[in-house]
Amino acid sequence: MTNENLLSVGNIVRCFQCGTCTSACTTNSVLPEYNPRRAMEMILSTGAIPTVEEAWACATCANCAERCPRGVSAMEVMLAVRSNFADKAPEDRRIMARNIVNTGHAFNPPDGLKEIRTRLGLADVALDDENVAQVQAAVEKAGLSDIVRSTSRGGDKR
């Protein structure tokens, strides 16, 4: 994604550099070198695109978007930046992407979870085929299929 295209994502042009995104950022709280405000400033002032490490550091928690007084979503911007680096996604993200496409969940539920939830009177967390098909269509539409295809098939057993 070019810088020109980034300017149309996440209301970035409304950013006035207050720093709310960084103070709300869950990644910044454990990785201080990740700074969404500086990333937005860099895009807006120099036209530079954040690095692959910055793009994949975003936890996609949406705290930045929820708290921004100007309605900017640094998360959406970083997701758009990731499209430049889809082929460089960390292996753990590739595994999660594959699991999401195959099951609708980032991680496979542990063995026996269905029985435990039933015993506790909780709903099953499994998605039906229609829900998984919707997830697969969204992944295809977003152009992320290559990430999923670049990992082996089957569910993650972590």
Write down the architecture of domain 3-87 according to CATH: Orthogonal Bundle (1.10)
Sorted by where each begins, the domain ranges of the chain are 3-87, 89-149
Exposed/middle/buried for residue 55 (C-beta within 10 Å: 0-12, 13-18, 19+):
buried
Q: What is the pLDDT of residue 144?
A: 66
Cβ 77 vs Cβ 43: under 8 Å: yes
Q: What is the pLDDT of residue 23?
A: 97
Cβ 98 vs Cβ 153: under 8 Å: yes
Q: What is the pLDDT of residue 67?
A: 96
Cβ 92 vs Cβ 148: under 8 Å: no
Cβ 47 vs Cβ 107: under 8 Å: no
Pair of tokens at residue 10: 């996440």
Nearby residues of 49 by Cβ (< 8 Å), 6 or more positions away: 1, 3, 6, 43, 81, 84
d(CA 64, CA 26): 9
Pair of tokens at residue 72: 């900017």
Q: What is the pLDDT of residue 2?
A: 66
pLDDT tens digits, the chain, 158 residues: what are they? Answer: 666 788 888 899 999 999 999 999 999 999 999 999 999 999 999 999 999 999 989 988 899 999 999 999 999 999 889 888 878 888 888 887 788 777 777 777 788 888 999 999 998 877 788 888 888 887 777 666 666 665 544 444 43
Q: What is the pLDDT of residue 98?
A: 81
